[in-house]
Amino acid sequence: MTRVAVVGAGWSGASCARALFDAGFGVEVFERSKVVGGHSRAEVLDGVVYEPNGAHIFHTSDAVVAEYVQRFGLNRRYGHCVLTEVFLAEDDDRSVLLSWPPQIEELRELPLWPQIERELAALPAEPSGADFATYVISMMGSTLYRLFIEGYTIKQWGRPPSELSSSFAPRRVELRRDGYRRLFRDTWEFFPAQGVNSVIESVLEPVTVNLESMVRLAALDDLAAFDHVVITAPLDEFAGCDGDLEWRGIRMESTVHATAEPAATVTPAYVVNRPSMRVPHTRTVETKHATGQLIDATVVSHEFPGAPARHYPVPTVDGRFESRNRELKTEIATTAPRPVWFCGRLANYQYINQDEAIRQGLDCAARIAAAAAS
Ligand SMILES: Cc1cc2nc3c(=O)[nH]c(=O)nc-3n(C[C@H](O)[C@H](O)[C@H](O)COP(=O)(O)OP(=O)(O)OC[C@H]3O[C@@H](n4cnc5c(N)ncnc54)[C@H](O)[C@@H]3O)c2cc1C
């Protein structure tokens, strides 16, 4: 029997391991932490389900992945809407809550609308520009950029938006003209009442999982019993050259609040974006809006960027970290004593959603099966 070691028990490692198990491979998972689930995990604070790693809404238009997650119990329908707190004038402490993405019909009600309208009328037919600031201004004009995007981006990335690549703008920034309020346009959108932990645990249910087992390139000889190794870990750390790749991390500061009645919440929405430089955080998250948990309390988390954690790959204009990650793949594949495979957000140095992590896990398993059969 072909044996495969999978490093990491987040969505990508779990779905890869389960697909290999279902295909008759001998599989073991090695996870550094005490629990499975990776970055998408929810936790419980004073009885309230909350998200210590930020809001995680499952959404996909990939029918295979949608069917896959429903098989493991991820099927509670949800429709995610986001608000943004906008300060309309520098010298005014009053703010308004507007939809994210910005909606033309709401913007028409603002005192700044004549200026916004003039800028929109002068936009080019297609947005363009290599850096993020230029691209987004060409997409929505400088007033909307200043109100919704600039401060959020500076706080989120800790560098001027002009130093960031425009490559992630089409995926992250939109101006809505059709009145559609939900953030995602995908066919399937789910939010499990307890978070995704139990779903990922079900995926891994028949697979041997070794918790508190960190695997590094230097120790791959310890996995001599395996024919292949799947790596979903960050490659700079895995290869022993921490710091070669830059990441941007977040820190969630979470507080429990008593509520007057079990269904009550204390903020206006599950996620409220805070683009203003007047506050140091970028978002406020109250997961109870999504779980619908009935309990006389709630948890409100403020998301602070700049923590020393591997959350977001840094998309510089020259793409230098993506290119270093490609080199690391080659170095690891050349040094490793047996075939290695890379999947997931960390090993690929990519921002990917949960459905894409699952898709990468399933595709990686299919590639290993094809290699084993040849
Ligand atoms: C702030 C934020 C918000 C997000 N919101 C959403 C959202 O709303 N919707 C959505 O679909 N996606 C969201 N995502 C993306 C989502 O978190 C990822 O798609 C998902 O976590 C990817 O799973 P993964 O298995 O690739 O990585 P991870 O979940 O990070 O799993 C990797 C696992 O490997 C383990 N590991 C690492 N190194 C080693 C090692 N050397 N040895 C052993 N184990 C190791 C880790 O402990 C971890 O368990 C968000 C991401 C961020 C950063």
| Closest among 57, 97, 80, 54 to 253, alpha carbons compared | 54
Residue ranges per domain, the chain? 3-41+195-246+314-373, 103-172
Task: Give the pLDDT confidence score for residue 90 in this predicted structure.
Answer: 82
pLDDT for 171 equals: 86
**pLDDT tens-digit series, residues 167-187:** 989 888 999 999 999 999 999
**Residue 36 in this model has a pLDDT that exceeds 90:** yes
Among 57, 226, 231, 346, name the best residue to mutate to test ligand 1's pocket (greatest count of ligand atoms within 8 A of Cβ). Answer: 346
Other CB atoms within 10 A of residue 359 CB: 21
| pLDDT value of residue 152 | 96
pLDDT at 28 over 90: yes
The stretch 276-304 carries a mean pLDDT of 97
Determine the pLDDT at residue 291. Answer: 97
Q: Is the CB of 57 under 6 A from ligand 1?
A: yes
Summarize pLDDT for 44-86 with one digit per residue, the tens.
999 999 999 999 999 999 999 999 999 999 999 999 999 999 9
Ligand 1 centroid–CA 54 distance in Å is 11
What is the model's pLDDT at position 312? 93
Could you report the per-residue pLDDT of 85-104, keeping only the tens digit for each? 999 888 888 899 999 999 99
CATH architecture of the domain 3-41+195-246+314-373 equals: 3-Layer(aba) Sandwich (3.40)
Single out the residue of 200, 234, 228 nearest to residue 214, CA to CA.
Answer: 234
Calculate the alpha carbon distances from 193 to 75, 99, 130, 183, 292 in Å: 10, 24, 41, 19, 7
pTM for this prediction: 0.94
Cα-to-centroid distance, 224 and ligand 1 (Å): 27
Residue 315 has what pLDDT? 85
Mutate to test the pocket of ligand 1, among 15, 39, 254 (most ligand atoms within 8 A of CB): 39
- Provide the mean pLDDT of the chain: 96
